[in-house]
Amino acid sequence: MLLTRLLAFCAGIFFCTSVALADKLTIAAAADLKFALEDLSATFKQTHPAAQIDIVYGSSGKFSTQIQQGAPFDLFFSADIALPRTLAAQGFAASAVQPYARGRLVLWSARLDARQLTLQSLADPAITRIAIANPQHAPYGQRAEEALRASGLWEKVSTKLVYGENIAQTAQFVQSGNAQVGILALSLALSPALSAQGGYFLLPDNLHAPLEQGFILTKRAAHNALAHQFADYLRSPAARAVLHRYGFSLPGERAGK
């Protein structure tokens, strides 16, 4: 009798723990998603009020390394689809790689009217500090370098560059005045915080490789129903509308802005 009660007690604890874990979701997301994903998670919670969604923003390259080392993320949204593809090939994914967006680069400034700038403006001696994301691990930084090299500007501006750990920190450098101009993600320039401070110049996308972005469910999330539900939601028309509002598109689509 005592053994039966003990087994029932343990089963109850296991059930409660499983239910609690099923309502939790930890997401590693590229920093260009900071505002769009906050809106998406808030909308998702309207139909999943018990869901606890923790989002960590940073550079895609660093997140990829952390997942390989066992970091407890359920979903990984990368600014470079090549990274989740590599993780999937290595056995770290519980789903196929799903493209979710194509990003764009812009010039943005809190001091200057970026709408009147072009890439060639960055060679102006009056502009002494230009912020980009670190090309070593941030896809937006890699594409910014490609655009500067394709424009013949890299050698002219390389001594002016200041590097953010990710694209969100890069935007902070420009907002704070630590850099006069930044090469940022369009999604950040369209956010309420930055759009209220000024306009932007959209870089021609033929100057760099496409910023094709994708996500995976990690191996850890194989049996996490909430993770699968959130992934399904990202493919819905409502979620696509939010992404369009922040300047994202998929191949064949036109973004909202």
Rounded to whole angstroms, how far apart are CA atoms 38 and 67? 22
Runs of H (alpha helix) within 23-69: 34-47, 60-68
Domain boundaries, the chain: 2-103+210-245, 105-207
Say how many CA atoms lie within 13 Å of 39 toward its Cβ: 15
Q: Domain spanning 105-207 has what CATH number?
A: 3.40.190.10
The amino acid sitting at 130 is I
**If pLDDT is split at 50, 70 and 90, which confidence band does 6 have?**
very low
Decide: helix, strand or coil at residue 181: strand
Asked if residue 49 lies in contact with residue 60, where contact means CB atoms within 8 angstroms, the answer is no
pLDDT value of residue 14: 39
Q: Residue 250 — pLDDT band, cuts 50, 70, 90?
A: confident
Q: What mean pLDDT is reported for the chain?
A: 90
CB 251 within 8 A of CB 102: yes
Q: What is residue 198's predicted lDDT score, i.e. its pLDDT?
A: 85
In percent, the amount of the chain with pLDDT more than 90 equals 86
Statement: the pTM of the whole predicted model exceeds 0.75: yes
Give the pLDDT band of residue 256 (cuts 50, 70, 90): very low
- Express each pLDDT in 114-139 by its tens digit: 999 999 999 999 999 999 999 999 99
Helix (H) or strand (E) holding 212: strand 211-217
CATH topology of domain 2-103+210-245: D-Maltodextrin-Binding Protein; domain 2 (3.40.190)
Looking at residue 56, what is its pLDDT? 97
Minimum mean pLDDT among 14-28, 82-96, 181-195: which range?
Answer: 14-28
Can you give the pLDDT at residue 251?
63
- The 10s digit of each residue's pLDDT in 184-197 is 999 999 999 899 99
Q: Would 2-103+210-245 and 105-207 be classified into the same CATH topology? A: yes
Beta strands in 59-195 (DSSP E): 75-78, 98-103, 105-108, 130-133, 161-164, 181-185
